[in-house]
Structure 1
Amino acid sequence: MSPSTTTEPPRTGVLPPLARIIGVGTATTDDSYSQQEVLDAFRITDPRIRSVFLNSAIDRRFLALPPQDGEGKRVSEPQGDLLDKHKATAVRMGAEALEACLKRAGAELSDLRHLCCVTSTGFLTPGLSAQLIRELGIDRHCSRSDIVGMGCNAGLNALNVVTGWAAAHPGELAVVLCSEACSAAYAMDDTMRTAVVNSLFGDGSGAVALMADTGPADEAAIAPEGPRILKFASCLIPDAIDAMRYDWDRAQDRFSFFLDPQIPYVVGAHAELVVDRLLSGTGLRRSDIEHWLVHSGGKKVIDAVTVNLGLTRHDLRHTVGVLRDYGNVSSGSFLFSYERLLDEAVTRPGEYGVLMTMGPGSTIETALIQW
């Protein structure tokens, strides 16, 4: 039988299943805008910048835009206001995504034993996990962790760490929550650097629930169902460590994000390397992977991954669709794609999937899962 139809684990070299993905949920801010509406809101007339927005393969994004002055012009927000926006937006979206995820998993807030929160669009101390525990009335003894500042690849970094926690606590529920208020990381100027960033990112949160099997006699309140997480692989590209970065803009007195124009090609050139490492020792080939859930990093990034891995547009239909409808929602993007795959109800027992994210470092993260 082929790997896409058998329910047996991979043939050689893969660690025993560490955990299952048993639920997913997403949320956004309230207001969405077309790219044209964003251009109009910021009164952008430069044809070069307009071209960046209108040729991004993005139709709409959810954003919390800056306030308007008396003449209807969007005003630049100081860093303190942006941090306030991040806190309010990330907590609200995060709460909605977490509750949607638990509902899909058939679980309650009282079942939660570990909460890992991921964000790169603002800084909070105490972290987002503590804010949500207070906001939602989660048991104050709930174990928690926060991953801050790792960027768009951080969702899989967190999944890797929390998979280990789940393996050490079989039958107990853990959630990874990625909450990115990208509107709180925007700068306002007329540079191409800013235009590329402002044309791409949107606000969104994604949550994924994990639980490790306890064995045949499992009597847990929640019966783990969903794909098993089999293996992780990552690749840091030291020569491109400055290609994606979030640093202090002294001219504007705030943080701003930088994307090197060459980053799509750098990511594409290393995608094959890390995927082959992921599949090494499993007896699987890329052609055995039925489902590909790749970070919606941008049109050129998606195209580069498609070409270098020999994938089809159908393979990356959810990645493309999420970019079109939400833009790049940073660390949670792959969870928006995963949710769409589940809504299709096309996965079959025994099929394999690859999750892939990429971000500052420059880094590519991957995970192998099996239904």
Structure 2
Amino acid sequence: MTISLTHPQDPPAPGRLPGISQITGVGTATSGTSISQTELLDILRIEDPRVRSVFLNSAIQRRHLTLPPPDGTGRRAPEPQGDLLDKHKKLAVEMGAQALMNCLKDTGASLSDVRHLCCVTSTGFLTPGLSALIIRELGIDPHCSRSDIVGMGCNAGLNALNVVAGWSAAHPGELAVVLCSEACSAAYALDGTMRTAVVNSLFGDGAAAVALTAGGGQDVAGPRILKFAGYIITDAIDAMRYDWDRAQDRFSFFLDPQIPYVVGAHAERVVDRLLAGTGLRRSDIDHWLVHSGGKKVIDAVAVNLGLRRHDLRHTTGILRDHGNLSSGSFLFSYERLLSENVVQPGEHGILMTMGPGSTIETALIQW
């Protein structure tokens, strides 16, 4: 018999933290056309120097977008809300299905292995939800358990991961998938104003899927999910919102210019709560995978957490190459980290997303 000498009130040693579930695969997909910021300014015929500066100083080089076709004069006319909803449905299903298939390939699993599908989207409203449409599109077993997380915004990927990690722990050996599919082109208002410029200069279309299992044995590759922590900055609840714009007669996304600094100022609080009781310090974290929310947001988080440029290389790289992909951005960064083949067994990582609420979500993982 082995007797533990650890006092019940002592935090567990970092190398022996229990896991909730395990990440076994990831896959991503994009849609539309890859367009540079300068090309987009020309396509939209934006001449206002203030608006142009928002695009050109965004630290974004290219994004995948599906824009309306030019009219007889060559202009891109704003799409009615009904057309935007149709666009969201089409793109979210197409990208989502591809990301899911890529994830299963990475996992070494098949569609018949999927037992729970959780779909996340905030760029359009669907009933029945995206999960039902994906199940029909791919021919997944209609008995598959499913859930949909709608309207939580850019932080929602980790909200979904939290819920599905719990489902996975309650169903050991069964495969669950979280799918984030964001057709940000379907949330654009092309009016050339400064309010919409902040949004139009930032977001891109993309989908990402991550597979989870629990109790799969020691030979399963991928990090274990150890813990979650989140925080809602209720004083800034209206700083990021997607609501009805009566002047435009459509939904419109709003970002308060101060939100990067608000998020940055609260980042320490959430990370400290995440690490509390684990025996870990921030300096023990080997990999940081932060939502590509925008240059100012990333800079504010880096300053407040004392992170180096190298720590956030995947975050800034995804922002540069794809823009803000909303709820799936952190999974694009995770996939890019894995492609480097630098992660070692025992290393720890922190996943962080930020979005409307205003909300910060985090997860602690270990390889």
TM over 0.5: yes
Counterpart for residue 120 of structure 2? 118
Q: 1:14 to 1:165 in 2, by over 3 A?
A: farther
Counterpart for residue 176 of structure 1? 178
The match for 2:314 among 318, 342, 356 is 318
Matches within 5 A, 1:1-371: 11=13, 16-214=18-216, 224-371=220-367
Q: 1:182 to 1:307 in 2, by over 3 A?
A: same
- Partners of 1:162 and 1:342 lie apart in 2 by 22
- Partners of 1:14 and 1:80 lie apart in 2 by 52
The Cα shift of 1:30 comes to 3.3
Alignment check: 8 A CA contact 1:213 1:224 kept: no
RMSD: 1.4
- Partners of 1:270 and 1:230 lie apart in 2 by 22
Alignment check: 8 A CA contact 1:278 1:367 kept: yes
The Cα shift of 1:16 comes to 2.4
Q: SS state of the match for residue 316, structure 1?
A: helix
The Cα shift of 1:97 comes to 0.3
Q: SS state of the match for residue 333, structure 2?
A: helix
Alignment check: 8 A CA contact 1:319 1:334 kept: yes
The Cα shift of 1:190 comes to 2.7
More off after superposition, 56-65 vs 11-20: 11-20
1:27-67 C-alpha deviation (Å, 9 max, x unpaired) = 00131100011101110000000000000000000000112
- Partners of 1:364 and 1:57 lie apart in 2 by 22
Alignment check: 8 A CA contact 2:117 2:146 kept: yes
- Partners of 1:134 and 1:195 lie apart in 2 by 36
- Partners of 2:124 and 2:192 lie apart in 1 by 23
1:79-124 C-alpha deviation (Å, 9 max, x unpaired) = 0000000000000000000000000000001100000000000000
- TM superposition score normalised by structure 1: 0.94
- Partners of 1:264 and 1:276 lie apart in 2 by 19
Alignment check: 8 A CA contact 1:267 1:301 kept: yes
Alignment check: 8 A CA contact 1:116 1:146 kept: yes
Structure 2, unmatched stretches of 5+, are 1-10
- Partners of 2:14 and 2:324 lie apart in 1 by 36
Q: How many residues align?
A: 357
Q: Which amino acid aligns with 2:72?
A: G
Alignment check: 8 A CA contact 2:125 2:150 kept: yes
Q: Which amino acid aligns with 2:73?
A: E
Alignment check: 8 A CA contact 2:62 2:320 kept: yes
1:240-280 C-alpha deviation (Å, 9 max, x unpaired) = 00000000000111000000000000000000000000000
